């Protein structure tokens, strides 16, 4: 098992590769990529599956998102087990460093109904939704992934961009919530405390990821971040703006809030659960808080792009990772929320302490108060992102 404090996190890479301003500029350009000519249809872009004669598979993932053998980092135990069991040779590449950056790598091929050389890609909810909207992802065969139907967490079912779980299957999940350093401040319980409590003024950071920060604020106003109106978004944004204008919020960050929280340079923040697992391993006074109003749930999803020629092989791999024992072995290494029911019991055999960690295996109370941000269309994506960036000063 890897060290609980790692120098680089998968979620950090998500926002760290591009700064907020660059993210906005890129999002503005790419949101327009759904114009006529870029979109595909299932009938218009047919993919041939060669899995019957070619026992191979190309898998693109984020760095540090697969278990490795500490004594020999060229070995990936769960992936090696799949190869041994299936006979399918897997070319595993860690070439996804940022959602928008990866989109830029593959958009020309997918817009033209051409192959990318990849059979599985792993992308975050909102980017998965965009690519599904563009018709660039193949549908999966439920009969070939029975473990998914049997073992996916209920909280990950019926997502708006893929309600039938036919196109995108969660690889790992995480939570956006609050955190505080008990060495420098007392406990916080609510988003409103974070944004208004006088003793925290100037000692607070929030995330530059619009969906996570705004999702929490929508919840704090009693609105559903999975289904909200433009007026409700604006109300939440006004609350955020007041906290910015008053000096309550020091800055907006990617995961670079983590060292500041560890040192006590900031007292509290909007955070990602994976970071807090690492920090709390070094300082137990750093605590993750599930706000009374709820948390945001995000996932990174396995998908088979159009023109991938080994879909059935990919389905075998997806099914493999939804075996509880395999999922537990992976989760013991990456420390994100495991999307597989039954994995917690298997984790108890590996590491009872991790099995008891609510940030890897949240209880039903926490999951029942978690929401996935509403799927946005192209116009909404441009509009909401622009308004948010104006408030955070990017």
Q: How many residues does the chain have?
A: 394
What is the C-alpha separation between 107 and 299, in angstroms, rounded?
Answer: 22
What is the C-alpha separation between 207 and 210, in angstroms, rounded?
Answer: 7
**Mean of pLDDT values over 1-18:** 37
pLDDT at residue 23 above 80?
A: no
Asked if 203 contacts 267 with a C-beta cutoff of 8 angstroms, the reply is: yes
Question: What confidence score (pLDDT) does residue 31 get?
Answer: 42
Handedness of CA 224, 229, 233, 239 (dihedral sign): negative
**Mean of pLDDT values over 304-310:** 98
Across the chain, mean pLDDT equals 89
The structure's pTM equals 0.79
Question: Does residue 185 sit in helix, strand or coil?
Answer: coil
What is the C-alpha separation between 330 and 340, in angstroms, rounded?
Answer: 11
List, for residues 360-394, the tens digit of each pLDDT value. Answer: 898 888 888 899 899 898 899 899 999 999 999 86
The Cβ of residue 20 has, within 10 Å, a number of other Cβ atoms equal to 20
Question: What confidence score (pLDDT) does residue 394 get?
Answer: 61
Question: What confidence score (pLDDT) does residue 102 get?
Answer: 92
Residue 359 Cα to chain centre, angstroms? 14
Angle at 327 between CA 153 and CA 169, to 5 degrees: 50
Question: What confidence score (pLDDT) does residue 309 get?
Answer: 98
According to DSSP, the residues that pair with 299 across neighbouring strands are 173
Asked if 55 contacts 89 with a C-beta cutoff of 8 angstroms, the reply is: yes
Question: What confidence score (pLDDT) does residue 195 get?
Answer: 98
Q: Provide, for the chain, the percentages of residues in helix, strand and coil under a 3-state DSSP scheme, each rounded to the nearest 5.
A: 45, 15, 40
Q: What is the set of domains in the chain, with CATH numbers?
A: 56-173+299-360 (3.40.190.10), 174-297+375-392 (3.40.190.10)
**Mean of pLDDT values over 185-194:** 97
Query: Which residue is it, tokens 């790598």?
Result: 105
Secondary structure of 47-107 in the HEC alphabet?
A: CCCCCCCCCEEEEECCCCCCCCECCECCCCHHHHHHHHHHCCEEEEECCCCCHHHHHHHHH
Question: What confidence score (pLDDT) does residue 78 get?
Answer: 98
Residue 273 Cα to chain centre, angstroms? 11
The Cβ of residue 377 has, within 10 Å, a number of other Cβ atoms equal to 13
Per-residue tokens: 81: 């087990």
What is the C-alpha separation between 29 and 44, in angstroms, rounded?
Answer: 25
pLDDT at residue 19 above 50?
A: no
Residue 203 Cα to chain centre, angstroms? 26
Q: Grade residue 4 by pLDDT with cuts at 50, 70 and 90.
A: very low
The DSSP call for residue 152 is B
Question: What confidence score (pLDDT) does residue 162 get?
Answer: 92
Q: How far lies 145's CA from each of 142, 157, 200, in Å? A: 5, 15, 48
């Amino acid at each position: 098992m890897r060290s609980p404090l790692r120098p680089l996190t998968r979620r950090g890479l998500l926002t760290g590769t591009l700064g907020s301003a660059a993210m906005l500029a890129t999002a503005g350009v790419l949101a327009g990529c759904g114009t006529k000519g870029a979109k595909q249809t299932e009938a218009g872009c047919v993919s041939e599956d060669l899995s019957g004669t070619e026992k191979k598979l190309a898998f693109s993932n984020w760095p540090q998102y697969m278990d490795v053998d500490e004594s020999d980092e060229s070995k990936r135990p769960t992936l090696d087990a799949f190869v041994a069991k299936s006979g399918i040779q897997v070319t595993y590449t860690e070439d996804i460093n940022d959602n928008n950056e990866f989109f830029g790598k593959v958009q020309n091929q997918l817009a033209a109904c051409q192959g990318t050389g990849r059979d599985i890609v792993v992308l975050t909810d909102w980017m998965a939704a965009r690519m599904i909207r563009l018709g660039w992802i193949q549908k999966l065969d439920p009969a070939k992934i029975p473990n998914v139907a049997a073992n996916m967490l209920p909280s990950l079912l019926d997502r708006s961009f893929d309600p039938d779980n036919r196109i995108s299957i969660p690889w790992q999940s995480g939570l956006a919530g609050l955190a505080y350093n008990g060495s420098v401040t007392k406990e916080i319980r609510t988003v409103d405390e974070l944004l208004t409590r006088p003793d925290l003024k100037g000692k607070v950071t929030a995330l530059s990821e619009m969906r996570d920060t705004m999702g929490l604020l929508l919840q704090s106003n009693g609105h559903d971040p999975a289904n909200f109106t433009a007026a409700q978004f604006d109300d939440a944004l006004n609350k955020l703006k007041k906290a910015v204008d008053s000096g309550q919020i020091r800055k907006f960050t990617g995961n670079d809030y983590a060292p500041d929280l560890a040192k006590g340079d900031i007292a509290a923040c909007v955070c990602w659960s994976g970071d807090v697992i690492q920090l709390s391993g070094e300082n137990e006074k750093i605590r993750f808080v599930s706000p009374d109003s709820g948390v945001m749930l995000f996932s990174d999803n396995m998908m088979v792009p159009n023109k991938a020629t080994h879909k059935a092989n990919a389905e075998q791999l997806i099914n493999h990772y939804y075996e509880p024992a395999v999922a537990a072995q992976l989760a013991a290494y990456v420390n994100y929320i495991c999307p597989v029911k039954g994995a917690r019991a298997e984790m108890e055999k590996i590491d009872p302490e991790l099995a008891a960690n609510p940030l890897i295996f949240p209880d039903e109370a926490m999951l029942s108060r978690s929401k996935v941000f509403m799927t946005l269309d192209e116009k909404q994506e441009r509009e909401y992102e622009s308004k948010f960036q104006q408030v955070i000063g990017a």
